Amino acid sequence: MASHFFMIAVLWAFPVGMALAGSIDLITMTIPNRLCLAIAVGFFVLAALARAPADLVLFNLSCGAAALVTTFALFSLGWIGGGDAKLAAATALWLGWGALLEYCLTAAIYGGVLTVVLILARKMPLPGWLAGREWVSRLHDPKTGVPYGVALAAAGIMSFPQTEIWRALTAGPGLI
């Protein structure tokens, strides 16, 4: 019974970690390396606890590795931030190839909406009660980028129930 509760805690670690990454990026415009690493390690902990088949783990690992190579190429071109690259790779590890396309499309849509909202908001003056908050002022500054981790996190949370690991874990009797 204790392992059952531990499994649920680890299963919820992904959405909680993603929500934390998006929130931190929104407030600080950075995504901590430790958090990306914790999200990635969480996948292996969950896979071990769930006794996931080696082929599923390797399949997801190949997806995470491919995402890391791709996103670091985008980072080297200056198109995305380094934290975004690491977060996307850690997320791809959890999602696997089967949910990756949905994740990428959803992240692109959410990121586009977030960008448009920020562009429009940055054209308006900040209300006085918000102007004194450092993180809001930084976010409002047109020279500041877009906290794309927010879009990556939201898309990851939305895509998670479409994954093989989610289906395998929630198929058990009364897990969720």
Summarised one tens digit per residue, pLDDT across range 7-59 is: 677 678 899 999 999 999 999 999 999 999 999 999 998 888 878 889 999 99
Q: Which residue has the higher pLDDT, 52 or 172?
A: 52
Quickly state the pLDDT bin for 172 (edges 50, 70, 90): low
Provide the 10 A C-beta neighbour count for residue 100: 20
Quote the tokens at residue 71.
């996103």
Q: What percent of the chain has pLDDT over 90?
A: 68
Q: How far, in Å, CA of 53 to CA of 175, rounded?
A: 19
Region 130-150: what's the mean pLDDT? 90
Domain that holds residue 11: 2-170
Which pLDDT does position 174 carry in this prediction?
Answer: 47
For residue 91, being part of any structural domain is answered with yes
**Is residue 1 scored above 60 in pLDDT?**
no
**Is residue 80 scored above 60 in pLDDT?**
yes
For residue 11, being part of any structural domain is answered with yes
For residue 74, being part of any structural domain is answered with yes
Q: How far, in Å, CA of 54 to CA of 1, rounded?
A: 25
For residue 176, being part of any structural domain is answered with no
Tell me which residue of 50, 21, 54, 55 sits closest to 38, measured CA to CA: 21
Residue carrying the six token digits 């997320």: 91
Q: How far, in Å, CA of 86 to CA of 129, rounded?
A: 34
* 96-110 pLDDT tens trace: 999 999 999 999 999
For residue 175, being part of any structural domain is answered with no
Residues 6+ apart with CB under 8 A from 96: 56, 59, 60, 63, 163, 164, 165
User: In total, how many domains does the chain have?
Assistant: 1
Q: What percent of the chain has pLDDT over 70?
A: 92
Quickly state the pLDDT bin for 176 (edges 50, 70, 90): very low
Sign of CA dihedral 127, 23, 167, 8: negative
Average per-residue pLDDT for the chain: 90
For residue 31, being part of any structural domain is answered with yes
Which pLDDT does position 6 carry in this prediction?
Answer: 64
Number of Cα atoms under 13 Å in the Cβ half of residue 131: 5
